[in-house]
Chain A
Amino acid sequence: MVDPARSVQPPPPPPLTDEEYAKFCEFFYRKTGIQFQDNKKYYVERRLVERMTKTGSSCFRDYFTMVRFQVSGEELQSLVNTMTVNETYFFREDYQFVALVEGMLPELVRGRSPRQPLRLWSVPCSSGEEPYSIALSILERWDQADHWDIEIHASDIDSRILAEAQAGVFGARSLSRVPRQYLEKYFVSLGDGSYRICDDLRQSIDFSLVNIVDPVQAKRFRDVDVIFCRNLLIYFDDVGRRETVETLYEILVPGGYVCLGHSESMSRMTSLFVPRKFGDTIVYQKPQEKAP
C-alpha cells in the first residue's frame, strides 16, 4: 500500500523572474568569473531548479540566501559543479601537445640546471584527459623526458569532475584518439569498454581544486613553465579575461608559455605575451622583462 503522505511531491519551484536571473548571474560572475548572457537563461534556470529541488528550497530567494551565507560553501560548490561544462577527450587539439614536446620543452630546458624541475599546469583540467594527454605526450614523444623531473599539476573549479579525473576511468568516446599501443602500455581494460589509466600515471599528477579567478587560490601556483588554459576564457567577460591572463602571467616563469584553445587569441585580450608559432599552433610566451 502506498503511503499518501510519502507519495506527495513538493511543487516545483516557480520560474525565475528576470530580476532574479540578473541577480544570480551577477553573484555567480563575482564568485567564478563565468558570465551567462540572457540567451543562457534556460540553461541556467534548469540547473538552478535542479539544485533548488535537491536542497528543498521552495523559491529562488530561499535558495539564494542559503548559497550566499552557507558557511561551508558546500552548496556553492555543488552549483559550480552543475553549471560548468566538462566535455573533452584525449589528445584534443593534439598539435599543441606536439608543440609542447617538439618546441616548448626543448627550448625551456636549454641551459637549465637538471636540478630545476619542469612544472606544467593544466587548468581547467576537467575529467583529466588533458593532463593525462600531456603526460603521455611527454613520455612517448619527448626523447629528453628521462633527464628531467617533470611535475604536472591539474586543477579545476568543479570538485566532482576533479574526483573523476583522479579516478582515471575513461569511456570509448574519450579514448577514441588514443593510439592502441598507448592503451596497451598505460591503461587497464575494465572489460565494459572503459579503461582505467595506470596507477603510476594517475599518481604522478597533482590534482587540486582551484578557482582561478580567486587571487588567494591562484597565488599558490608559482614558477610554472607551461600552462594549458584552453577554452576557459571564452566564458569570461573582457575585464575578467584580462585579469585572468594577468594571473597566468604572474604564475609563469619568464620565458614560460600559455596554450589557449583554438578559438581564443591572447592578442585580443592583452599585450603582455608574445605570440610564438610552433608547427601548426600559436602559443603565448611571457617575455623576459628588461625594466625592473
Chain B
Amino acid sequence: MALVKANPPGIPAVGDGKPTPDGPASGLPPLIETGPSVEDLLAALDAEESTTRRSAARALATHPEAAMALCDRVEIERSPSVRVVLFTTLIRLQSPEIAARLAGLLRSEDVALRNGAIEALQEMPAAVAPSLRALLADPDSDVRLFAVNILGALCHESAPEWLVEVIASEPHVNVCAAAVDALAEVGRPEAVPALQALRARFPDEPFMTFAIDTAVRRIEGR
C-alpha cells in the first residue's frame, strides 16, 4: 500500500496514547516551555535566516516592550513573509504608539510595505483613532487618500462620521471620491445631505456624480 503510517521527526504518534472520551491525549509535550528571553528574540530579528526572523517576530507577540523594536524592524525588513508576521505581531500588540509608527509608513514608496501598514492599521481601530485626524489633515493628498482607505474598512463607530467630515472639507477630488466609495459601504442616512452638497463642489466631474448617486442609493437601500 502506498500509505504509510509514520511518526516523522517532531511528530509523536497518538496511536498508543489514544485520545480518551473526555480527557486530553497522552503523548503531548508539556504546554509550558521555557522560551528564549526578549533580548534573544530581539537579536534574532536580525538573523540571516528568514525562518529565524519570522519565528522571533511571532514569539514577540507576548512582549509589548518589544513594540518599538518591531516597528524599527518592519521598516527595514526585505523578506515579504517576515514582514507579514511582523505586521501580525504589531496588530496583536496594538497601541496608539504602534499605530503612530505604522502611520508613518503611509509615506513609504515601497507599495508592499505601505499596503501592509494600511491593512494592519485597519485591524486596530481603537489604536489608530488618535492618529487619524492628523492623517486626514496631512498636506500630502496621497496620505489623506490612504487614511480614507483605512477609515473605510475600520470597525470604529465614528468612521462614518469622520468620512462625512472628509467630504465636507477635503479639497482633493480623489480623496473625496475615495470617501464617497467608503460611505457607500458604511454610510448612514445622516451622510446623505453632505453627499448631496459634495455634488456642487465638483460639478465638472461626472465620476463624482455617479459615485454620489450610487452611495446615496445604497445608504437609502434603494
A interface residues with partner B (beta carbon < 8 Å): 72-74, 77-78, 81, 117, 119, 135, 138-139, 145-153, 159-160, 162-163, 166, 200-201, 203-209, 214-217, 219-223, 238-239, 242-243, 246, 249-250, 270-272, 289, 291-292
Contact = CB atoms under 8 A, between A and B. Distances in A.
Contacts of A151: 3-6, 8
Contacts, number: 150
Interface string B49-60: 111001100110
Contact of B88 (A223, A243, A291): A243
- Interface of B, secondary structure class, is loop
Query: Top 4 A-B pairs ranked by shortest CB distance?
Result: A209-B25, A204-B3, A159-B19, A145-B2
A272 B58 CA distance: 15
Given A159-B21, A291-B79, A221 B2 contact: no
Interface stretch (B27-35, B100-108, B170-178): B27-35
B84 A272 contact: yes
B48 interface: yes
Nearest to A54: B22
Contact of B22 (A135, A139, A160, A220): A160
A115 to B, nearest CB: 12
Interface of B: 1-15, 18-25, 27-29, 31, 33, 48-51, 54-55, 58-59, 61, 78-81, 84-85, 88, 91-92, 112, 116, 123
B84 A271 contact: yes
Contact of B31 (A138, A163, A205, A214): A214
A77 B20 CA distance: 10
A208 B33 contact: no
B8 A291 contact: no
Given A203-B5, A209-B25, A271-B112, 13 more contacts: A72-B23, A117-B4, A119-B6, A135-B3, A149-B4, A151-B3, A208-B25, A208-B27, A215-B59, A222-B8, A242-B88, A246-B85, A291-B79
A209 B7 contact: no
Contact of B15 (A77, A163, A207): A207
B99 to A, nearest CB: 14
30 contacts: A74-B22, A74-B24, A119-B8, A139-B1, A139-B3, A145-B2, A148-B2, A149-B6, A153-B11, A159-B23, A159-B25, A160-B22, A201-B3, A204-B4, A206-B7, A208-B14, A209-B19, A209-B28, A216-B33, A217-B31, A220-B11, A239-B88, A239-B123, A242-B88, A243-B88, A270-B84, A271-B84, A271-B112, A272-B84, A289-B80
